Amino acid sequence: MLAAHRASREATRWLARGVASWSKFNPAVMSGSNPATVSNLVYGEWVQSEKTMTIPDPLNGEPFVHVPDTQLFEIEPFVASMKSVLKSGTHNPFKNPERYVMWGDITAKAAAEMRRPEVEDHFARLIMRTSPKSYAQASGEVRVTRKFLENFSGDQVRFLAKGFSVPGDHPGQSSHGHRWPYGPVALITPFNFPLEIPVLQMMGALYMGNKPLVHSDHKVCLVLEEFVRLLHACGMSLNELDICNGRGATVNEIMAQGHPRNTLFTGSKAVAEKLAQQFHGRVFLEDAGFDWKILGPDVSDFDYVAWQCDQDAYACSGQKCSAQSILFMHDNWAEAGLEKALAQRAATRKLEDLTVGPVLSVTTDRMMQHKERLLQIPGARLLFGGKPLTGHSIPERYGAIEPTAVFVPLNELLKPGNYEAATTEIFGPFQVVTQYGDHDVPHVLEACERMEAHLTAAVVSNDVRFTQHILGSTVNGTTYAGIRARTTGAPQNHWFGPAGDPRAAGIGTPEAIQLVWSTHREVIHDIGPVPHGLALTQS
């Protein structure tokens, strides 16, 4: 049996016990023998569109999911729903404050549901089938989502709206700062984390009193639908959010006519910039992620660091916005044999267990062309990989290559033309490796300074002076430092997002939710008493 079919069979082996009460997607559907049908949600109803798109199974190309191909003549209900939301939102500190408590209760129920082993397994298998990754990676995404829900259960939603007060100038006056909703908002999410990203951002929008229009990448949108159905079973009204599936142009037209007061976009830089211009900056962005890792001069815990470098570059087939895109390796690490260790670890990844698999946004040809372009740089060499995967039925529209690393000399990397090529993000199992010495640190920092994407980074060193120097000279929004530093990390316990851009989004924490999904409103109460005998003159 082909490796892809073995992986597909394994990915459909799940537990359905206790899930069927709210689940739409059963084992027969997920086996591929009976394609699933995804729905839109608008004005409290699950509806179909006149046309559908058939999404191929990412492992064998067979028909897998029928997704609404929503047409322009079908957008009026979505536009009307968005326009029906007041700027003051569905709730705020003065209006319907009991809804903060309601969301805490719904979240607690959803968290408890996702703690059940059969439900965790259910969502892990859904993720594996839509955005193929190993079971460990898929179940990790489910656990992060569940921990987020646990974090915001009970009164924690209420605390998100916590403000502050300042004494006034005279008796009866006080100034109060409040976190205020935007009202109608939009949320656009990518394929690579089909549960975690839409759920964390969607729930943050709902907590703060907004009504979101949610658009998940059509390749993975059934995961979002399944979670929303779980929320409905946990007490969420059908009217709290809308889901529009289909092509980006259709969703863009809904937004153009509906005028969301804020949009969160996670995805490509080109689309992010288009949205920023079209909606006059009323956006928060988590776009490109060409992420760097610097291995400092102190070599320790060699096996662990090699393992983490492999995980950061190639887990989820490199399809993480936080994936290690370029590795700056100090001479001491090169002399210790890191290149060989990385090659040995990469060679253990295989399609059978989905530790390497389909690349859903970059074709094999595109990745091979990029490899050849880098090898044209003087002194460049292929460290490992660089070949298409074999023995599979992955559709040609997707990519399938071995975990790949290309070495580019630092002095050549910094040259015009070479730099643009070496820092082009390839959203797949592909990284650039370079080497530096003590005297080259300014050149390493120059390379980091010239990058446009500032999402994640890592400084792998316990040398405090070295680490402080690197941290003080760079800007990445989520930066790990120390010998255990990584570039990929689940945002259940810390802020995750880019930096260096006023539009930079955040995810995972109260501060991120407050930044992205609420705005500041100041209310100055001035109830008197009014002073008597005061001469009121014009000024």
Whether the CB-CB separation of 133 and 354 falls below 8 Å is answered with yes
**Catalytic residue selected from 74, 150, 286, 402:** 286
Burial of 247 (0-12, 13-18, 19+ CB in 10 A): middle
Whether the CB-CB separation of 38 and 222 falls below 8 Å is answered with yes
Handedness of CA 290, 291, 296, 299 (dihedral sign): negative
CA distances from 145 to 42, 139, 140 (A): 24, 10, 9
Q: Which residue type is seen at 457?
A: A
Catalytic annotation on 221? no
Catalytic annotation on 286? yes
Angle at 57 between CA 52 and CA 61, to 5 degrees: 100
Whether the CB-CB separation of 411 and 444 falls below 8 Å is answered with no
Element (H, E) at 11: helix 3-11
**Catalytic residue selected from 321, 402, 425, 448:** 321
Q: Which two tokens stand for residue 99?
A: 């809804």
Closest CA to 185 of 104, 103, 93, 284: 284
Cα–Cα distance measured from residue 161 to residue 182, given in angstroms and rounded to the nearest whole number? 13
Report the side by side order of strands in the sheet with 291-295. Answer: 381-384, 404-407, 430-436, 324-330, 291-295, 456-460, 478-481
How many angstroms from the chain centroid is the CA of residue 368? 26
Cβ atoms < 10 Å from Cβ of 128: 26
Q: Supply the DSSP symbol for 418.
A: H
Element (H, E) at 330: strand 324-330
Task: List, by residue number, the catalytic residues.
Answer: 286, 321
